[in-house]
Amino acid sequence: MTDIQHFKMTTYRLCKISVLLVLLLLFSGCAKVSFDQPKPYSAAFTDTTDTALGKEVTDWVASSQGLSGFYPLDQGMDALGVRLRLAERAEKSIDLQYFLMKDDTAGAVMTKALLMAADRGVRIRFLIDDVFTTFPDRYFLLLNQHPNINIRIFNPLSRSGFSTLNFVGQFSQANRRMHNKSFTVDNVISVVGGRNIADEYFELKTDSVFVDFDVLAMGPITADISSSFDEYWNHSRAVPISQFIKPRQEEDLETIRTEINDELSAIYDTVYERALNSRLLQDLITNQQPLFVAPARVLVDSPDKLTNKIDITQNQLANDLHEVLLSAETEAIFISPYYVPGDSGVQLIRDLVAKGVRVIIITNSLASTNHVAVHSAYARYRKAVIRAGAELYEARTNAAQEITGNTDSPDALTLHTKAFFFDRRKIFVGSLNLDPRSIDINAEMGLLIDSEAMVGSLTQDMDDDLATLTYRVRENGKGNLEWHCRINNRDVIETTEPLTTWGRRFKAWFMNIAPESQL
Question: Which one is catalytic: 78, 186, 301, 435?
Answer: 186
Give which of 418, 412, 445 is closest to 177, Cα–Cα: 445
Question: Which one is catalytic: 305, 375, 416, 426?
Answer: 416
- Distance from C-alpha of 471 to C-alpha of 365, rounded to nearest angstrom: 8
> What are phi and psi for residue 211, nearest 5 degrees?
-85, 110
For residue 218, the cross-strand partners are 69, 189
| Contact assessment for residue 332 and residue 420, using Cβ atoms and an 8 Å cutoff | yes
Taking CA 409 as the corner, what is the angle to CA 408 and CA 410, rounded to the nearest 5 degrees? Answer: 120
Q: What is the 3-state secondary structure (H, E, C) of 446-514?
A: EEEEECHHHHHHHHCCHHHHHHHHEEEEEECCCCCEEEEEEECCEEEEECCCCCCCHHHHHHHHHHHHC
> What are phi and psi for residue 204, nearest 5 degrees?
-100, -5
Catalytic residue at 181? yes
- Distance from C-alpha of 167 to C-alpha of 30, rounded to nearest angstrom: 9
Radius of gyration of the chain from Cα atoms?
25
Residue 178: burial class (beta carbons within 10 Å; 0-12, 13-18, 19+)? buried
Catalytic residue at 418? yes
| Contact assessment for residue 133 and residue 155, using Cβ atoms and an 8 Å cutoff | no
- Distance from C-alpha of 20 to C-alpha of 27, rounded to nearest angstrom: 11
- Distance from C-alpha of 188 to C-alpha of 53, rounded to nearest angstrom: 7
Question: Which one is catalytic: 112, 181, 235, 426?
Answer: 181
Catalytic residue at 32? no
Question: Which one is catalytic: 418, 426, 435, 440?
Answer: 418
| Contact assessment for residue 429 and residue 335, using Cβ atoms and an 8 Å cutoff | no
For residue 492, the cross-strand partners are 485
- Distance from C-alpha of 390 to C-alpha of 382, rounded to nearest angstrom: 10
Give how far the C-alpha of residue 204 lies from the chain's centroid of Cα atoms, to the nearest Å: 17
> What are phi and psi for residue 421, nearest 5 degrees?
-120, 140
| Contact assessment for residue 169 and residue 190, using Cβ atoms and an 8 Å cutoff | no
Catalytic residue at 375? no
Catalytic residue at 484? no
Give the C-alpha distances (Å, rounded to integers) separating 490 from 218, 461, 468, 493. 44, 19, 10, 10
Catalytic residue at 305? no
Question: Which one is catalytic: 423, 465, 484, 507?
Answer: 423
How would you label 318-331 residue by residue, b for 16+ Cβ within 10 Å and e otherwise? bebbeebbeebeeb
User: Letter for the amino acid at 280?
Assistant: L
Question: Which one is catalytic: 92, 179, 375, 426?
Answer: 179
Give how far the C-alpha of residue 170 lies from the chain's centroid of Cα atoms, to the nearest Å: 24
In 176-295, which ranges are E strands? 182-185, 189-193, 209-211, 214-218, 238-240, 292-294
Residues belonging to the active site: 179, 181, 186, 416, 418, 423
